[in-house]
């Protein structure tokens, strides 16, 4: 019974997470069709790749608008931000929790990467 409750709580939390406007429609649609934490993990893996690509595109676009010192500053910030994100999200790792641990890590990566992409996208508007 506790396992079922945990899955239901995770499902509700993940759906609330997906309602954020900076996540892809494909991710939201994927979460609407899930029946297990394994399927939820598959959705999160795909979204994590999408958000990483989105971040890289936004970063490259911003770099093209900057010159000299600003460009160097953004590169330095990004080189610091990536290890911070990685360390922060790895904190959620708990090998005793299996799929749930992996899901927590992916959700952290998705949220932080999407937020950073939004920050960079705003710089080009």
Asked if the model's pLDDT at residue 99 lies above 80, the reply is no
Of 49, 47, 55, which Cα lies nearest the Cα of 24? 47
Go through the domains of the chain in sequence order and give each one's CATH number. Answer: 2-123 (1.20.1270.180)
Predicted pLDDT of residue 4: 46
Q: Is the pTM of this model over 0.85?
A: no
Task: Please check whether residue 45 is in contact with residue 37, taking contact to mean a CB–CB distance below 8 angstroms.
Answer: no
Per-residue pLDDT reduced to its tens digit, 51-94 = 999 999 999 999 999 999 999 999 999 999 999 999 999 987 77
Q: Could you count the other beta carbons within 10 Å of the beta carbon of residue 97?
A: 14
Specify the higher pLDDT residue, 36 or 2.
36
Kindly give the interhelix angle for 25-32 and 2-18, rounded to the nearest 10 degrees: 150
Predicted pLDDT of residue 9: 52
């Amino acid at each position: 019974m506790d396992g079922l409750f945990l899955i239901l709580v995770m499902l509700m939390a993940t759906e609330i997470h997906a309602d954020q406007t900076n996540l892809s429609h494909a991710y939201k649609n994927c979460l609407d069709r899930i029946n297990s934490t394994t399927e939820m993990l598959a959705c999160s893996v795909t979204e994590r790749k999408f958000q990483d690509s989105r971040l890289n595109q936004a970063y490259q676009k911003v770099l093209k608008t900057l010159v000299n010192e600003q460009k160097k500053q953004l590169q330095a910030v990004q080189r610091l931000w990536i290890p911070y994100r990685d360390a922060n999200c790895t904190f959620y790792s708990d090998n005793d929790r299996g799929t749930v641990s992996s899901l927590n890590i992916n959700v952290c990566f998705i949220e932080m990467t999407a937020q950073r992409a939004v920050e960079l996208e705003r710089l080009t508007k």
